Structures are given as C-alpha cells and as structure tokens.
C-alpha cells in the first residue's frame, strides 16, 4: 500500500446523502463497506466526521446562542455521527473504538494519543469525535491535528467532488481539476480545500492531503494503493 495509516475526513452532510438532515442508511452502509475493504488490505484507518447533518453553528447564531455554546453543541453532533459510523462498521465485521475529545464515558473512550495509536496497531478503526474539544475550531482542524498526533501518512478528505478545481465545478463548467498542487499554490490562489488553521497544520508538518470523491465505489481503495485519484496536495 502507498499509505499504511490514514486519517479519513468525512463531512456530516455526507452521511445525510440525498436528505437534508439526519442519516441516509444506504450511504452510511456504503461508506462502511468501502472502509472495510481498506482495512482488509491491512491499512490502519482513523476517521473524523463533522456534524452538519444534525446541527450547524449558523443555526445557533440565528437562535441567539453564544458561539462557544453552539460549537459545543456541534461537538455533540459529531459524537452522534461517530456512533452511527461505528455501528455500520461493526455490522461490516470491523472492530472499532470511538474516542472523544470531551468526556462522555458511557458511550466512548476519552482521547489519549498513545491509546489511539495502539488501537490502530491492533487493527481497530478509530473514530475521533467531538472535534478538538475546544470551541472555535472546525472538524477539519480536528482531522489535521489528530492525523499529526497519530503519525498518519496522509489526510484523505472524502467529498462529493472528485478533487480540487480552479473554480467551483458545480457553478463554473469551465473549471478544471488539479491532479497535484502544492500548498503554496493553494494559498496563493485562495482555493477552498480546508479552513486555514487545518491547512496550515498540514503544511507545517509536511502532511499531504488528498481530496477525492468518496461516493464513487472503489475510490478509497485506489487512493491508498497510490493511484491518481482526486487531487494530491504536497509540499511541491
């Protein structure tokens, strides 16, 4: 395998599939099946998932809820999603652990870096919930941080778009996809890959990012094998 330990970042909206809210059972099942294929190849898999299918910070602000309070509510939403993914993965025959940045001992473990790495070494899929445990940080930042902490080989950002484009391909039909792009070029062209904190963490720690279409069967396996799927962001 090209990558032996990966951090897979999924958005909460991805779990909703064609729905606007909640879970699409078939979508979660298909993700679990794709992840199971990768684990079957001996790849160590960690996952960070957002919470946008359950709760979004914009909703809190519209309701007059304090920003920090809203962020904590979002952390709880990511834990619900983590448990949903855990259930689907275990139905697919995998061993898993959910590790949370905030204390919820009845349903998951607290995040301890060395314990997380040991779980991965034993072949368990580790799902990191509750972001970084701090308000004002996105789950993209949590994904970058956890990937660095567990010494992942790459951050895989699974989206519904097959890579990074010169413009939004859903709005601009002339947009073209980058096969490979450097961190500095992403900065210079102000391309929307991750939030700036998350992206800078990866750059400073020389951690590559691959943005790819998670909804296409086989893509995840092909990415970890090193095939040219999506867009690779490197030091250049």
Choose among 100, 165, 168, 107: nearest CA to 132: 100
Average pLDDT estimate for 183-197: 91
Dihedral of the CA atoms 2, 6, 215, 227 (nearest 10)? -10
Residue 59 has what pLDDT?
79
Q: Tokens in use for 12?
A: 């909460």
For residue 216, give the 3-state DSSP assignment.
coil
What average pLDDT is seen over the chain? 95
CB atoms within 10 A of CB 19: 12
Q: How far is CA 203 from the centre of its chain?
A: 17
Which contiguous run of DSSP H or E holds residue 189?
Answer: helix 183-189
**Choice among 3-7, 62-66, 167-171, 175-179 with the minimum mean pLDDT:** 167-171
Question: At a CB cut-off of 8 Å and minimum separation 6, what does 90 contact?
Answer: 96
Q: Are 143 and 7 in contact (CB under 8 A)?
A: yes
Reported confidence tier of residue 58, pLDDT bands at 50, 70, 90: confident
The Cα–Cα gap between 91 and 25 comes to: 12
Is the CATH number 3.40.350.10 carried by domain 5-234?
no
Per residue in 76-89, pLDDT (tens digit) is 999 999 999 999 99
- pLDDT number for residue 223: 97
pLDDT, tens digit, for every residue of 59-79? 788 889 999 999 999 999 999
Residue with tokens 């910070």: 57
Q: What are the residue boundaries of the structural domains of the chain, listed by start? A: 5-234
Residue 52 pLDDT exceeds 80: yes
**Average pLDDT value for residue range 202-207:** 97
Q: How confident is the model at residue 56 (pLDDT cuts 50, 70, 90)?
A: confident
**Residue among 131, 138, 156, 135 at smallest CA distance from 46:** 156
Per-residue pLDDT at 236 exceeds 80? no
């Amino acid at each position: 395998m090209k990558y032996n330990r990966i951090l897979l970042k999924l958005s909460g909206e991805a779990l909703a599939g064609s729905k606007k809210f909640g879970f699409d059972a078939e979508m979660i099942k298909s993700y679990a099946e794709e992840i199971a294929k990768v684990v079957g190849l001996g790849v160590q898999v960690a996952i960070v998932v957002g919470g946008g299918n359950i709760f979004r910070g914009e909703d809190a602000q519209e309701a007059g809820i304090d920003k920090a309070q809203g962020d904590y509510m979002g952390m709880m939403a990511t834990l619900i999603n983590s448990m949903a993914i855990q259930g689907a993965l275990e139905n697919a025959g995998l061993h898993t652990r959910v590790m949370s940045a905030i204390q919820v001992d009845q349903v998951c473990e607290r995040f301890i870096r060395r314990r997380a790495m040991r779980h991965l070494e034993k072949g368990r899929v580790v799902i990191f919930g509750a972001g970084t445990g701090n308000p004002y940080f996105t789950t993209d930042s949590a994904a970058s941080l956890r990937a660095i902490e567990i010494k992942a080989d790459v951050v895989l950002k699974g989206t519904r778009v097959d890579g990074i484009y010169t413009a939004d391909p859903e709005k601009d039909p002339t947009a073209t996809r980058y096969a490979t792009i450097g961190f500095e070029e992403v900065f210079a062209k102000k391309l929307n890959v991750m939030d700036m904190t998350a992206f800078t963490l990866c750059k400073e720690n020389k951690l590559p990012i691959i943005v790819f279409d998670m909804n296409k069967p086989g893509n995840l396996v092909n990415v970890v094998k090193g095939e040219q799927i999506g867009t690779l962001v490197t030091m250049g």
